[in-house]
Amino acid sequence: MDKTARRESILHGGIQVLATKGLGGLTHRAVDQQANLPQGSSSYYFPKKVNLLIAVSEFLAAQLEEDCVELQVAFSQLTAEHGLDAAKDLFVQELLDYLGTSRHLFLARIELTLAAAHNPELVGVGEKLTTAARRPIAFFLKLISNGKEDGPIETCSGLIDGITLMHAIGQGPKPTADQISAVFHSLL
C-alpha cells in the first residue's frame, strides 16, 4: 500500500471510529485497528490526536463536497430533462437514502463539531463541516426558490439538516418525504 492509500485508510478509519466510538474512543490504536494497519501507522502520519482530528475533518469536508458536486450535476440534468418536480423528488429520495447509507458521516461530523466547540486548536472545523454538509441542501433550495434571498434558504437548509441530524443520532424518527417537502413549500 502506498503512502497516499495508507493515509486515506487512516482517515476513513478515523471517520468510522468517530462514528462508532465517539471522540473519547478515537485513539491512534483504534484508528490503526479500524484501518487494518500496523500499530503506529496513524501516529506516524499524525503524531498528535489534534493533527488526526484536523486531517479527518478536512477529509470528511472533502467527501461531503464531492457528494454535493455529484448531486448538483444530477439535479441540474434532471431539471433540464424532466422539470423541477422530478428534481424535487430526486432530492428527497437522495436525502433519505443518504441518511441510511451515510449515517457514519453524520455521526463523525457531530463528534468533530462538538470537539471544535471545546478545543481552540480546532477552531473553524465545525463551521467548515456544517457548510459542506448543508451545501447540497442550499443549492437545491436556491434552484427551486426562483431567486429568493439567502435568509429563507439558510433557515430551510438548517431545518432539513436538523431533522436529518436528529435521526442520525437516534433522537428522532426517519424524516419522511412529506416532511422534507413541507420545508420546501415553506420556502416557496
Tens of pLDDT, residues 105-123? 999 999 999 999 999 999 9
- DSSP conformational letter for 120: G
Residue 74 clears pLDDT 70, i.e. is over it: yes
Rounded distance between C-alpha atoms, residue 49 and residue 25, angstroms: 11
Phi/psi of residue 91, nearest 5 degrees: -60, -50
pLDDT tier, 136 (very low <50, low <70, confident <90, very high otherwise): confident
First to last CA, the chain: 51
Residue 144: which residues within 8 A CB-CB, separation 6 or more? 84, 87, 88, 184, 187, 188
Rounded distance between C-alpha atoms, residue 124 and residue 188, angstroms: 32
pLDDT reported for residue 15: 97
Chain mean pLDDT for the chain: 89
pLDDT reported for residue 148: 67
- Do 145 and 91 contact (CB within 8 A), yes or no? no
Unique residue bearing C-alpha cell 503506529:
40
pLDDT reported for residue 17: 98
Question: How many other CB atoms sit within 10 Å of the CB of residue 54?
Answer: 18
Residue 150 clears pLDDT 70, i.e. is over it: no
Top-confidence residue, 148 or 52: 52
- Do 184 and 144 contact (CB within 8 A), yes or no? yes
pLDDT tier, 187 (very low <50, low <70, confident <90, very high otherwise): low
pLDDT reported for residue 79: 82
